[in-house]
Structure 1
């Protein structure tokens, strides 16, 4: 064994308890089903809390007198807190209790969602939405850890993760449908949407109390101090970066605005410091005889070596998740603007054109559950990312005069393959290669990369859109104002197409990354009960043994 391997062995040995493994009491099939449904409902809630509110934004704006360009913060406040606190709250779940972190998160979403329904001004609603997002950051990584902990490698694990992934398209459909109906047909309009989602949060809490067992104490860490400095660095860094990516295009001087440049530099610097700090703590805990009783020497919030799991292929999967969400959410963002601002469709007709996404999303996850134990993961990820890229490509070459069935319908079908295939197989892979005490952190890393990917993809495609719009409009003798509403229609079409080309590039880059680096991963699902490492290569087994041997 090399000195590096020995250091790695001591690092893990210093964080794992030496208690004997305590087996869970036998669980009934009904309890397993209820657990899967409960955790999936949390994913449905997380997605519906965005889509249901998004469709109600015009009504909220009229009711609370919020100007249009400020309405985005009702969505952004939730996404900002839910995306930036994933890693910290995932670590809390691993350290203390995934069950109670999950319940706390669901209750938080419900309580502050209820408050949103009673808000009477813009600032109150924005603040409550930001606090509500903390609940999503707590329950989603905890839910992934719960599934990995309760279901050993087996067919039911594949079904559980695929069902959890299906919660996203189902939540999108429920949010659009229920949000639209309640906003339009109830006396309380948009407030009814928040109250309905609060009821679902309560159901989720009750289901969690009944169906989720406490964590196996043999996988708890001896040293459960929280790395507060690391938590501050990563949360502040992600907050600044996601804020800049969300706000850069609408700032007073765009990306050249002083505070946008300053905050971007500060955010990147904080993340770099976070990585160095986590590496220092990891090396300190790996060193024999090191003094670890100081208040500033807790175990790292995120082990930097987690990125090297499965010979670095976990980092590749996380990178693919980032690129896929750049592509998928870029397409979703621009296709809605294309339908409403260029084709001049109302929100309901736009929703109808996007409904095939939800149906296909559910079918994709059913397909994953059936084949993930039989096909190497590289096939699913390459096919999925290519299909998302093709959805962007269809709109990059779209003919506006063509019927919906020629471009819009096939693009809506193809767009979700990448997100659903990558999410289901990616989270299965994370659960497979991460150690027992870092399951929620692994899930949080995956979710964080999707959140950052969403912001990054929309930001880059917006830069491309604005640059093309200005350049092409000048060819028609028009200087585009900040809103872009005076741009000639031909220039608008070219700008939409170039934004879609950007999303296409992200999708194809993800497919290329998977084809080059994941060909030897093999199957991540399971056809029968067997050891979690049975589908890894011999080299992977050697590495996993080195990192788990006490």
Structure 2
């Protein structure tokens, strides 16, 4: 073939819907066509880019992770959620023993939970921000290391002050693991369906951790020693830590995934540097405002049952927390969006505020049941720690079934419908609980009430999590996870303070039957549940955009590719 007859075929666009045209560079027409679309080298560079990166607004494909590795990563992330739940529930059985060992009053025993809750809820937002602007892998590993080391130390401490302080440090470690694990989970499972299943599995580990914590904590307390309730966390945390070092990819969050096609190496590097810079920094002043406000608010709630709700020890922290919260909100409006600890725009995402309010209920409902019946059965009815733990199984078995079903079958595209079903089950359940007086009513009233309530509670946790991550962008997954878990933890604090305060005050006025206070506290939980159901019914607005994407995935709609202006010019000239 002679040189004059040779016509190389140059791909004008990587888009498969545009036909590649034959251009002869040696001809006059060919030179004009090449000038219209760029030089030969530029075209070759563009042709080597992935198809999805050619059109602006689309992302290049992320690094592929094998199915086996994804399953192992999900196990690692779920273990962080399990350990967080286990850290609290495993302390219920040995708490009386720990109190006697260190001569702790009831208020000091409550601080074994409050110290953890204070630091956990206060540092969640900071850890979520760190996960979003830095490496979530190393944030997760750092948090898991702190939890494992502090748990080991807790079993050797000689006094109650040191025990409470180290519990607070343990809460900081847990706060680092939860948002970062959620951030890693969202990036590991980008497909909406698989992501929803992964979040459902992750959320369900809380219930499993709570009940296994009760059972294992009771077994250790009665058969070995209470110190193993802490050391068991280290035994699980260290292997999980080692697995995360090898399984979590260093580049799981691809910095160049939004860079557009047609850029040379220097442009790619510049875009990458620009993207890293655009993530902003840590808003230490804003975080200080919010952390101080949350600590004072939680301190006021936890002090109420012991100090009295009308004392300055309760109201002074409340007032100061409101002042600091107002200062935080004002400061955030003055900060650039990329630097703000909690960008004000987060609250304008569809249903974000409603879902945060919803997140306060599920863990609060659970902890109300555990606190009320643990104290009642062991102190008033004389059941052992192990007998008490076994009777709590109806609170976790339905949750396991719900999580399994949601992990196997695709979740619904209408989270509100599933959430409302959960509310109906919880309202019916909570209406029964105030009448479950005495052990003779366990199978007749309490058992079915817990089956219904636990199923509904699981639906709320799963679909609140799924809906919250759907409404926020992927690059804010760490911050979204911290906000979600702040709501869940806030529910624990509110429920603990309310149930403890109501039960003690009612039993003081109506002595003789300890169930009187339990019954009154569950009427409070019933009103709380109904109020949340009304809020979701009125304020939650279901999004409709997802239906188009579902149609595309099922082949009912075909996306149309549009040629770029350069491609249109070439086609017209030819």
1:152 deviates by 1.2
CA distance, structure 1, for counterparts of residue 544 and residue 550 of structure 2 = 16
1:197-233 CA distances to partner (integer Å, 9 max, x unpaired)?
Answer: 1021112212222222232224645253211111101
1:526 deviates by 12
Question: Structure 1 residues 239-248 or 518-527, which shifts more?
Answer: 518-527
1:381 deviates by 0.9
Could you list the runs of 5+ residues in structure 2 that have no partner in the other structure?
Answer: 1-55, 257-274, 557-574
Instruction: Rate the CA distance shift 1:395–1:522 in 2: closer, same or farther, 3 A.
Output: farther
Bigger relative contact order, structure 1 or 2 (CA pairs below 8 A, ≥6 apart)? 1
Counterpart of 2:230 in structure 1 is: 194
Match of 1:206 among 242, 246, 260: 242
Counterpart of 1:407 in structure 2 is: 445
Counterpart of 1:432 in structure 2 is: 470
Question: Structure 1 residues 379-388 or 213-222, which shifts more?
Answer: 213-222
Instruction: Rate the CA distance shift 1:399–1:248 in 2: closer, same or farther, 3 A.
Output: closer
Match of 1:422 among 460, 470, 481: 460
1:79 pairs with 2:117: yes
Match of 2:345 among 305, 308, 325: 305
Contact 1:153 1:529 in 2 (8 A): no
1:346 deviates by 3.1
1:343 deviates by 3.6
Alignment of 1:92-491 (within 5 A): 92-186=130-224, 189-213=225-249, 214=251, 215-218=253-256, 220-251=276-307, 254-282=308-336, 299-310=339-350, 313-370=351-408, 373-374=411-412, 376-400=414-438, 402-471=440-509, 473=510, 487-489=511-513
- Secondary structure, in 3 states, of the residue corresponding to 2:436? coil
Alignment of 1:2-41 (within 5 A): 23-41=61-79
1:399 deviates by 4.3
- Secondary structure, in 3 states, of the residue corresponding to 1:31? helix
CA distance, structure 1, for counterparts of residue 343 and residue 176 of structure 2 = 19
Contact 1:279 1:304 in 2 (8 A): yes
Aligned residue pairs: how many?
A: 479
CA distance, structure 2, for counterparts of residue 523 and residue 184 of structure 1 = 55
CA distance, structure 1, for counterparts of residue 552 and residue 532 of structure 2 = 30
1:338-387 CA distances to partner (integer Å, 9 max, x unpaired)?
Answer: 33344443332221211121222211212333455335211211122332
Q: What is the TM-score normalised by the length of structure 1? A: 0.81
Counterpart of 2:19 in structure 1 is: none
CA distance, structure 2, for counterparts of residue 113 and residue 281 of structure 1 = 38
1:401 deviates by 6.9
Could you list the runs of 5+ residues in structure 1 that have no partner in the other structure?
Answer: 1-17, 286-297, 474-486, 535-550
Instruction: Rate the CA distance shift 1:371–1:319 in 2: closer, same or farther, 3 A.
Output: farther
Counterpart of 1:539 in structure 2 is: none
Match of 1:518 among 540, 550, 555: 540
1:115 deviates by 0.8
Contact 2:394 2:454 in 1 (8 A): no
1:23 deviates by 4.1
Contact 2:416 2:540 in 1 (8 A): yes
Question: Structure 1 residues 325-334 or 439-448, which shifts more?
Answer: 325-334
Q: What is the TM-score normalised by the length of structure 2? A: 0.78
CA distance, structure 1, for counterparts of residue 412 and residue 384 of structure 2 = 44
